Each structure stands twice: as structure tokens, then as C-alpha cells.
Structure 1
Amino acid sequence: MFGPWNSVASRFKEDFPGIMVQKCICHSLALCASEACKILPRRFEQCVMMVDNIYENLNDPLIFLFFNFLAWILPKFVNLNKLFQSEKSVIALLHSIMKETYEDLLYSFMKKCPDPFNCNFKDNTMFLRNEEMYLGYNVMLLIQKPEINSNKTMLDEFYEQCRQF
């Protein structure tokens, strides 16, 4: 649809010089969420695909943490999609809601920076320490449980994958 050579967009540009063609923001948000999910452990995906074993897999503390993390973060993407699919005119709200959502996600794992749109995501010194990250209320409660809190290797893996998400 948007390729540079023989696409709908390139043909529109050829027939209507000066036209501005924009990709669907809802599709772009879905692609972002889908790409982010690739960071999650493969066994998490396998667990989700095998619905008949889901309750058995929820006994795995790492899997349960990821389910709770996704229960917190995915509605943020869904709410943005709903906004862009609204039947009402929401153009006046878009910038502030997108900015608020972006900062909410950003500051769940990074220190505050003067300009959130120019943060250096490769600068590890800007990352919050694991115990400072906010990944949802349920995750916070789960991490306080001794059987989870005592497994530092598992928690380090969980935090790192959430940060990459």
C-alpha cells in the first residue's frame, strides 16, 4: 500500500502531486504492540497459544507476572485505538492524550528527562532501577511475595523484558 514504486500511495502521488498520504495510526499502534510482544519469552507465547493448559501455566510465577504486566499495559494501546476510531471529532484531544500516554509508558521505566521526545533510549543511566519501575499495581503486589521476590534471576529477566517492551 505504501511502497515507493508500485503502490496505492505512489500512484496517488503520481496522479495528485502534493497529496499527503498517511498510514493508519490504528494499524501502526497494533504493529507497535505486536513488535513489542516479540520481546516476551517464547514460552509465554506458547502458553497463550495452548489455552487448555493456561491455568497450569499460570502456576509459573514468570508467566503470571507477564500476564499481569500485559493486563496493565495493553489497555493503553487499546484506548488509543478506540480514540482514533471514535465517531466523534477528537482532533483537539489527540496531541495531549498521545503525549500523556507516551510519557506514562516512558516514565514507567526511565528517569524523567527535560524533553521526553528526545530521551536517549540507549543510555542505560537513564533507566530506573528494577525496583523503581512501575509495571502495574498487580505486578507490584506479586513482586512483594517472598516466592517471587527471592528469585532475583527471574525478576531481572522479567524487568529487562518489560523495559524492552
Structure 2
Amino acid sequence: MNSGSSAIDLYNCLKRVISEKNIPFTNLIGFISDSCNVMFGNHNSVYSLLKADAPNIVCIKCSCHLIHLAASKACMILPRSVEDLLRNVGSHFSRSAGRQERFKDFQEFFKTDIHRILLPSNTRWLSLKQCVDRTLEQYNPLEAYFREEVFRDPSKTTEDILNTFANKFNIVYLEFMSYTLGLLTEFNILFQSETALLYKLKPETATLLRTLCANFMKREKTSNKNVFDLNHKNPDFFCSLDQIYLGIAANESIADLKNNASENEVTLFLKNCLQFYIELVSQIKKRFVFDDDVFDIVSIVDPMNAQSFSVRTLAKVTKRFPILKECINCQELDNEWRDHAHIDFKEMGMDPTKTAEEYWKQVFEFRNRAGVAHENITLDILPGLTDQYIRELAPSRQLSVIKFD
């Protein structure tokens, strides 16, 4: 067996597994992976090979990986000393149990929780949020510890660490990072769920972008506009530097620092935060591309959208996924969709705030006036639901026409 890691090797392995399970290649409707070149490059990647053999397949990059990359690029805008502080402090304690024991004395003196200092991961960028929060929690005992460490066993690294702690702007940078990385971490946590959430990817990305843009742009420039088309780099759209939102902790700290720092230092800090926001929004827009019609099509999976009947026909679904035409009647599909629109949702207890899986399970159990189940709409909605739920549902619906293994 070829165990290579090139795109061709990976693609051949994928095809072999699919063939061994007797799944027709034309049944593939979706593929998701991280966004490295071997998987998603425009040429000679698993993605390009898949699209060549299955042009109707939906290929989606992992949202968690994309946010990780966006965060890492944006953080490069901030002074290098901030990230170096986190890595140097983490490395200092990770290599010595004795140092950790000595540090406990300082934690006890300052009456902070006895927590370990964390080391950032190069491959899990959003773990930086935990490192930032832990450093903020232990800031005073850490500064005191390194002051003694420089006196007891001086070195260039410990002196650099102490000098960074002594720069009070760095604690504000950490507070700013805690706030912004928190927004990105919340986004990631949402899409690490086992619940079917593909239909939320575009609207949740738009919400995240709108939140970030509102932190540095004038309100009238961000409201009621397609945030993906918003020119977030236009200086005419920016609010004044002192109106940039940095998070509660950073806002309060920078207000206090204005009394003890020069105007130029404060201005430089605010400009760095502004550039961070601009770069973060740019990176998210660059990496989250929604030009495939599927992202609008899957909006019908959202119970709120389904009940609003804003989509009046499902013809676009079968056009985007031609394989469905082999196992459903397109007219009957639309009939069932329109029947769904006339259900008394309140009387049937069909709450639109339920998860997509809970809601559509009720719909799939619904019978029309002739007592016939909605088999066509079942098959049409399935691609937007999780594989786990499809497995639970398939035996009861006899969906053997499409293999989900």
C-alpha cells in the first residue's frame, strides 16, 4: 500500500476506501478538511482532483482552522514583545519543576490562585487565549518573581521578560488580546459542536465580522450593509482613535494610562489595535469564501427560515445536487415543501428555536392528508444534517438508494 502524503496519494487512498465500501463516486456531495495546500490548493490538491471527478461536490475548508490562521496573521500586527513574553515565560516554567515551586511562594504572597503558567502552542493558535488569560491572572506575582530571578540568576532572557512586564502597555495589549481572541474562540466552540451547523456558517461569520467592524468603524457604515462587501479599509469609515472599542478591561486600562504615558505612546497603541482589527477582518474575508450557492441553499435547514417560507421552491437544491434527482421526484419535493409551509407550527409544537435536527425529525415524521410520509423532502434536507443523524434516520426511511457509510 502506498503510504505517501502527496495529494495524489491521499486522493487514491480516498477513492480506494470509497470503492471498498461499494459507494458510487457520484454519490459524494461534500468534502471538508483543513486548508493546507495539499488538501485545498488550486492545483494538484485533493480538492482539485475531487472537483475534476465530481464537479458537483461541495468542498468546504475547516472553519476552526481558518479562524486559527486569521488570528495568527492578525497577531503579527501587534508588538512582537507581547507574544515573546508569553512564549518565554511559558518556556521558563515548562523546563523546571523547581521554578514552578519557587513561583508558588509569589502566588501565595499575592493571594492568587495556584495555577500553572501555560505555554502557547504553535499549531493551536487560539490556545493563546488561555495563555493570555493565565498571564493576566498571574501578572503581579510573575513580575515580582522575575524581578527576583534577575537579581538571583541574571540572563538576557529573564532581563527581557522583566523589561516587558515593566512596560505597562503590555498588560493592556494582553487585555485587548483576551477580548478579541475570546470572540474568535466563541466562534470556534460553536462549530466544534456535533450538531449540524453548516447552515449557520455564513450568518455566524457575518455576525463575527460585523462585531469586529463595529469596534473600529462608524455605526452608520456597518449597519444594514452586506458586511462581506463593506470596505473596512477606508479611513473615512473609521471612528476616532479614542472611540475604538478594545474590550472593557483594555478600555479602562488605557484610560488610566493616559495620565501616566505620553500622547504619542497612547496613539501608537491605539493605531496598533486599529491595524490589528483591519488585518483580522481582511484575513477572515480572505479565508471564508461563500461564492458557492450551497451556503444560501442550506439556509432552509434553519427552522426559522424554513417556517418563513422565504424560499418558495427547492429547485435550486436539486440543481446544485443532481444526484438527488435519481431518488426523488422534483415536483413532489416542491409539493411537500409547500405543504410544510401550511403546517400549523404552533399547534404541532414545531418550535423554530429548536436545533435543526430536532425540528426536521418532526417534519420527517409528518404525514400528508393521505397519510404518506414526506420522503422527498427527507432526502433533500439530509445533506444539510450531520452524518450521525442520517445514520439514525436512514433505517426507518429505507434510504438505501444513497449509501452514507
Where on the TM-score scale, by shorter chain, does this alignment land: which range? 0.7 to 0.9
Q: Secondary structure at the match of 1:120?
A: coil
The answer to whether residue 185 in structure 2 is matched with residue 83 in structure 1 is no
Q: Write the distance in 2 (CA, Å) between the matches of 1:95 and 1:17.
A: 22
Q: CA deviation at 1:101?
A: 2.3
Distance of aligned partners of 1:16 and 1:116 in 2 relative to their CA distance in 1, 3 Å threshold: closer
Distance of aligned partners of 1:152 and 1:67 in 2 relative to their CA distance in 1, 3 Å threshold: same
Q: Write the distance in 2 (CA, Å) between the matches of 1:95 and 1:13.
A: 22
Residue 31 of structure 1: which of 69, 76, 80 is its match?
69
* Length-normalised TM-score, structure 2: 0.38
Distance of aligned partners of 1:123 and 1:21 in 2 relative to their CA distance in 1, 3 Å threshold: same
Aligned to 1:14: 52
Aligned pairs (5 A) from 1:73-112 = 73-91=180-198, 93-112=200-219
Q: Write the distance in 2 (CA, Å) between the matches of 1:90 and 1:16.
A: 24
Larger displacement relative to structure 2 (61-70 or 82-91): 82-91
Q: Secondary structure at the match of 1:21?
A: strand
Q: CA deviation at 1:144?
A: 2.1
Aligned pairs (5 A) from 1:12-161 = 12-51=50-89, 52=92, 55=143, 56=162, 57-91=164-198, 93-112=200-219, 113=221, 114-115=224-225, 117=227, 118-146=229-257, 150-161=261-272
Q: Secondary structure at the match of 1:122?
A: coil
Superposed CA deviations along residues 85-133 of structure 1, whole A, max 9, x for unmatched, are: 1112334554543333221111111112151513222321211111111
Q: Write the distance in 1 (CA, Å) between the matches of 2:243 and 2:251.
A: 10
Residue 164 of structure 1: which of 266, 275, 296 is its match?
275
Distance of aligned partners of 1:81 and 1:124 in 2 relative to their CA distance in 1, 3 Å threshold: same
Q: CA deviation at 1:35?
A: 0.6
Distance of aligned partners of 1:130 and 1:80 in 2 relative to their CA distance in 1, 3 Å threshold: same
Distance of aligned partners of 1:35 and 1:149 in 2 relative to their CA distance in 1, 3 Å threshold: same
Distance of aligned partners of 1:13 and 1:82 in 2 relative to their CA distance in 1, 3 Å threshold: same
Determine which structure has more spread, i.e. the larger CA radius of gyration.
2
Please say if residues 103 and 116 of structure 1, whose CA atoms lie closer than 8 Å, have aligned partners that are also in contact. no
Q: Secondary structure at the match of 1:4?
A: coil
Distance of aligned partners of 1:116 and 1:64 in 2 relative to their CA distance in 1, 3 Å threshold: farther
Q: Write the distance in 2 (CA, Å) between the matches of 1:10 and 1:96.
A: 27
Aligned to 2:41: 3
* Cα RMSD for the two superposed structures: 2.2
Distance of aligned partners of 1:95 and 1:143 in 2 relative to their CA distance in 1, 3 Å threshold: same
Larger displacement relative to structure 2 (154-163 or 63-72): 154-163
Q: CA deviation at 1:26?
A: 1.1
Please say if residues 172 and 250 of structure 2, whose CA atoms lie closer than 8 Å, have aligned partners that are also in contact. yes
Aligned to 2:348: none
Aligned to 2:29: none
Count of aligned residue pairs for this structure pair? 165
Q: Write the distance in 2 (CA, Å) between the matches of 1:28 and 1:59.
A: 34
Please say if residues 130 and 159 of structure 1, whose CA atoms lie closer than 8 Å, have aligned partners that are also in contact. yes
Structure 1 unaligned segments of length 5 or more: list them. none
Q: CA deviation at 1:149?
A: 5.6
Q: What is the letter of the counterpart of residue 48 of structure 1?
A: L
Please say if residues 149 and 155 of structure 1, whose CA atoms lie closer than 8 Å, have aligned partners that are also in contact. no
Instruction: Give the structure, 1 or 2, with the largest relative contact order (CA under 8 Å, sep 6 or more).
Output: 1
Q: Secondary structure at the match of 2:181?
A: helix
